[in-house]
Structure 1
Amino acid sequence: MALVVCILLYMIFLGDRCFGQDFEIPEATVQLLYPVGFTVSIPDNCGEKLQVACKHFKRQLRRKVASSVQTLLSNNLYPVGFTVSIPDRSGIRLFAFHGKVNEEFTSPQDGGRYSRDITRAKNGKWTYTDKTTRFKKGDEINYWLYVDYDNGRNQLGYMSEFRKFVVRECPRQLMNEKGDCTASDPYHYEVPEPSIEILTPRGFKVSIPDQDGVKLFAFHGKINESFDGREAGSFSRDITKARDGRWTFTDRVTLLNPGDIIYYWLYVDYEDPSGRKLGYLKEDQEYTVGGVSSCMKSLTTWNGEVACSAQLLLDEQFNRFNTVNWTNDIRYADDPDFEFVIYDKHENNLNVRDGQLHIRPTLADERYGSEFIYSKTGYDLGSSCTADVANDCKRTSVGGYTLPPIFSGRIVSTNFFKYGRVEVRAKLPKGDWIYPQILLSPKEYEYGKTNYDSGEIRIAFLGGNAHLMNELQGRILLGTSVSTRNYGITKTTGNDWSNDYHLFSVIWNPESISFFVDDREYGQIIPPRNGFSSVVARDKPEAASRLKRGTLLAPFDKDMVIKIGVGVGGHTFPDSIPNKPYTNEEQKPQLKFYKAKDSWMPTWTRESELIVDYVKVYAL
Structure 2
Amino acid sequence: MGFQLSTDHVDQGNHDRNEQCLVFEDHFDRFNLKNWQHEITMSGGGNWEFQWYTNNRSNSFVEDGILYIKPTFTADFMGEGAMTNGGALSLWSGEPSTQCTDNSNYGCERASGQSSGGNYINPIQSARIRTVDSMSIRYGKVQVRARLPQGDWLWPAIWMMPKYATYGVWPASGEIDIMESRGNGKNYPFGDSSRVSSTLHWGPHADLNAYRLTQAEVIAENGTFADDFHTYALEWNEEGLRTTIDNKTVLQVDFDQSFWQRGAFPEWSMNPWESGSIGAPFDEEFYLIFNLAVGGTSFYWPDHPIKPWSNEDSHPANQFWQQRERWLPSWGEGNKPALAIDWVKVWSDSPCA
TM bracket (short chain): 0.7 to 0.9
Counterpart residue identity of residue 618, structure 1: W
User: Match for residue 567 of structure 1?
Assistant: 293
Contact 1:533/1:547 (CA < 8 Å) preserved in 2? no
Q: Which has the higher strand share?
A: 1
Query: 2 CA distance for matches of 1:418 and 1:523?
Result: 19
Q: Compared with structure 1, are the counterparts of its residues 614 and 528 closer, same or farther at alpha carbon in structure 2 (3 Å cutoff)?
A: same
Counterpart residue identity of residue 470, structure 1: S
Q: Secondary structure at the match of 1:487?
A: helix
Q: Compared with structure 1, are the counterparts of its residues 595 and 478 closer, same or farther at alpha carbon in structure 2 (3 Å cutoff)?
A: farther
Counterpart residue identity of residue 243, structure 2: F
User: Match for residue 579 of structure 1?
Assistant: 306
Displacement of 1:330 after TM fit? 1.5
Contact 1:533/1:548 (CA < 8 Å) preserved in 2? no
Identify which of 89, 96, 99 aligns with 1:385.
99
Q: Secondary structure at the match of 1:545?
A: coil
User: Match for residue 589 of structure 1?
Assistant: 316
Query: How does 1:493-508 map onto structure 2 within 5 Å?
Result: 493-494=219-220, 495=222, 496-508=224-236
2:10 paired with 1:315 = no
Identify which of 15, 18, 37 aligns with 1:327.
37
In the alignment, structure 1 segments of 5+ residues that lack a partner are 1-297, 300-307
User: Match for residue 74 of structure 2?
Assistant: 364
Q: Compared with structure 1, are the counterparts of its residues 615 and 582 closer, same or farther at alpha carbon in structure 2 (3 Å cutoff)?
A: same
Q: TM-score, normalised by structure 1?
A: 0.47
Counterpart residue identity of residue 587, structure 1: S
Query: 1 CA distance for matches of 2:23 and 2:85?
Result: 45
Query: How does 1:464-475 map onto structure 2 within 5 Å?
Result: 464-467=183-186, 468-475=192-199
Q: Secondary structure at the match of 2:243?
A: strand
Q: Compared with structure 1, are the counterparts of its residues 454 and 594 closer, same or farther at alpha carbon in structure 2 (3 Å cutoff)?
A: farther
User: Match for residue 13 of structure 2?
Assistant: none
2:314 paired with 1:600 = no
With a CA cutoff of 8 Å and minimum separation of 6, indicate the structure with the bigger relative contact order: 2
Q: Compared with structure 1, are the counterparts of its residues 386 and 477 closer, same or farther at alpha carbon in structure 2 (3 Å cutoff)?
A: same
Contact 2:153/2:182 (CA < 8 Å) preserved in 1? yes
Contact 1:364/1:372 (CA < 8 Å) preserved in 2? no
Query: How does 1:95-174 map onto structure 2 within 5 Å?
Result: none
Identify which of 401, 406, 412 aligns with 2:124.
406
Identify which of 141, 144, 157 aligns with 1:421.
141
Identify which of 549, 557, 582 aligns with 2:283.
557
Q: Secondary structure at the match of 1:618?
A: strand
Q: Secondary structure at the match of 2:125?
A: strand
Q: Secondary structure at the match of 1:529?
A: coil
Report how many aligned residue pairs link the two structures.
312
User: Match for residue 140 of structure 1?
Assistant: none
Q: Compared with structure 1, are the counterparts of its residues 357 and 591 closer, same or farther at alpha carbon in structure 2 (3 Å cutoff)?
A: same
Q: Secondary structure at the match of 1:401?
A: coil
Displacement of 1:382 after TM fit? 2.8
Displacement of 1:502 after TM fit? 0.3
Query: How does 1:21-32 map onto structure 2 within 5 Å?
Result: none
2:341 paired with 1:341 = no
User: Match for residue 250 of structure 1?
Assistant: none
Contact 1:420/1:618 (CA < 8 Å) preserved in 2? yes
Counterpart residue identity of residue 488, structure 1: T
Q: Compared with structure 1, are the counterparts of its residues 457 and 585 closer, same or farther at alpha carbon in structure 2 (3 Å cutoff)?
A: farther
| 1:130-179 deviation line (CA, Å, top 9, x unaligned) | xxxxxxxxxxxxxxxxxxxxxxxxxxxxxxxxxxxxxxxxxxxxxxxxxx
Contact 2:29/2:62 (CA < 8 Å) preserved in 1? yes
User: Match for residue 374 of structure 1?
Assistant: 84
Contact 2:295/2:301 (CA < 8 Å) preserved in 1? no
Contact 1:533/1:545 (CA < 8 Å) preserved in 2? no
Q: TM-score, normalised by structure 2?
A: 0.80
Query: 2 CA distance for matches of 1:549 and 1:363?
Result: 46
Contact 2:40/2:102 (CA < 8 Å) preserved in 1? no
Displacement of 1:447 after TM fit? 2.9
Contact 2:148/2:340 (CA < 8 Å) preserved in 1? yes
Query: 2 CA distance for matches of 1:460 and 1:472?
Result: 6
Q: Secondary structure at the match of 2:57?
A: coil
Contact 1:416/1:443 (CA < 8 Å) preserved in 2? yes
Query: How does 1:47-446 map onto structure 2 within 5 Å?
Result: 309-383=19-93, 384-389=98-103, 391-397=106-112, 398-413=116-131, 414-446=134-166
Displacement of 1:340 after TM fit? 1.4
Q: Secondary structure at the match of 2:77?
A: helix
Question: RMSD over aligned Cα, in angstroms?
Answer: 2.6
2:340 paired with 1:611 = yes
| 1:539-563 deviation line (CA, Å, top 9, x unaligned) | x965x52133322322222211101
Q: Compared with structure 1, are the counterparts of its residues 528 and 608 closer, same or farther at alpha carbon in structure 2 (3 Å cutoff)?
A: same
Query: 1 CA distance for matches of 2:256 and 2:88?
Result: 47
Q: Compared with structure 1, are the counterparts of its residues 325 and 421 closer, same or farther at alpha carbon in structure 2 (3 Å cutoff)?
A: same
Query: 2 CA distance for matches of 1:470 and 1:477?
Result: 23
Q: Structure 1 vs Structure 2: percent identity of aligned residues?
A: 29
Query: 2 CA distance for matches of 1:555 and 1:541?
Result: 20
Q: Compared with structure 1, are the counterparts of its residues 561 and 375 closer, same or farther at alpha carbon in structure 2 (3 Å cutoff)?
A: farther
Q: Compared with structure 1, are the counterparts of its residues 341 and 520 closer, same or farther at alpha carbon in structure 2 (3 Å cutoff)?
A: same
Answer with 1 or 2: which has the greater Rg.
1
User: Match for residue 197 of structure 1?
Assistant: none
Between 475-484 and 389-398, the greater mean CA deviation after superposition:
475-484
Q: Compared with structure 1, are the counterparts of its residues 327 and 503 closer, same or farther at alpha carbon in structure 2 (3 Å cutoff)?
A: same
Q: Secondary structure at the match of 1:554?
A: coil
